[in-house]
Amino acid sequence: MIVVAHIFVVLALLACSCIVAHPTIYPHIALKHGKGNRVRALPNPPPPIISYHIHITYTLFNPPVVKEALELRNRTRQRFQDYLAPDCPGRYDYGYLCMIDDHDIENTTLIGGPFVSGEWSIFVPLGDYPLITPWLTQNRGNLSLLLHPNTGYEYEDHDIWALWAGQRWPLDMSIFDKETQTNEFGHYPGDSDNPVCLSKNGVCGDDQLYTSTLCCFDLACKAAETISNGFSNHTIHRCA
């Protein structure tokens, strides 16, 4: 019986690998309309972390707070301009550090998401975690920060595996199913959509941040060219 059950899990995973590479929104939405796939069972040990999301959450309809949230987003964009790829229109499997741009962050929250507050967010590949997490934790001001892994088990990702800095907001967890994989089928840490380290010439650090992203294999993070961008002159480091 156990063998049979395992075969079904393998078949289910194979069947699901055809899922679109870039779900533009939380995949449970497709499930509610009878599309998409799910696997019911939480593995032990827990499933691998494939990437992270960092969300900044704030009170909508309080103009000074919204302004603070938008200013922090601008400062984050400026601080990490050498590392960020163009904004991503969805939330998963982008292959690079990017600001998520999928709704009006000034006036509303994301329809179909778990947030009851305003939020803006960043897709964080594993290698960029030590670059951006400490900076945002120290620079978030009065705003709350939610850091959660993406494993495909969205209930646990947003709940028991999540970390908060600042005041913890309630989330609408009714949209997720416990112990159920609804996302990331066929993905694993280190695939091209979810890199764990930077390849040659990737920007891995600079002379103002002590932490750096991880370079792959035998590459090292070395000082490269000086950038002048109107705000500062600084030397960036690249994997070489």
Task: Summarize as ranges the residues that interact with ligand NAG (CB under 6 A).
Answer: 67-68, 70-71, 74, 104, 106-107, 141-142, 228, 232-233
User: Which of residues 68 and 93 has its CB atom nearest to ligand NAG in the complex?
Assistant: 68
Q: Please give the DSSP secondary-structure letter assigned to residue 196.
A: S
State the minimum distance, in angstroms, from the CB of residue 118 to ligand NAG. Answer: 11
List, in sequence order, every beta strand (DSSP E) within the chain: 39-40, 51-58, 98-100, 118-125, 144-150, 163-165, 180-181, 203-206, 221-228, 233-239
Kindly state the smallest distance separating residue 228's Cβ from ligand NAG, in Å. 5
Beta strand 144-150 pairing with 118-125: unpaired
CA dihedral 65, 70, 76, 77 (to 10 degrees): 180
Rounded CA-CA distance 109/182 in Å is 22
Write down the least CB distance from residue 18 to ligand NAG, Å.
35
Cβ-based nearer residue to ligand NAG, 17 or 81: 81
Element (H, E) at 65: helix 63-79
CB-CB contact of 189 with 149 (8 Å): no
How far is it, in rounded angstroms, from Cα 133 to Cα 136? 5
Minimum gap (Å) between residue 177 Cβ and ligand NAG:
32
Q: Which is nearer to ligand NAG, 201 or 233 (CB)?
A: 233
Nearest approach, Cβ of residue 233 and ligand NAG (Å): 4
- If the CB atoms of residues 201 and 232 are measured against ligand NAG, the closer one turns out to be 232
**Which of 107, 199 has the CB closer to ligand NAG?**
107
Tokens of 239: 């994997």
Indicate the residue whose CB is closest to ligand NAG: 141
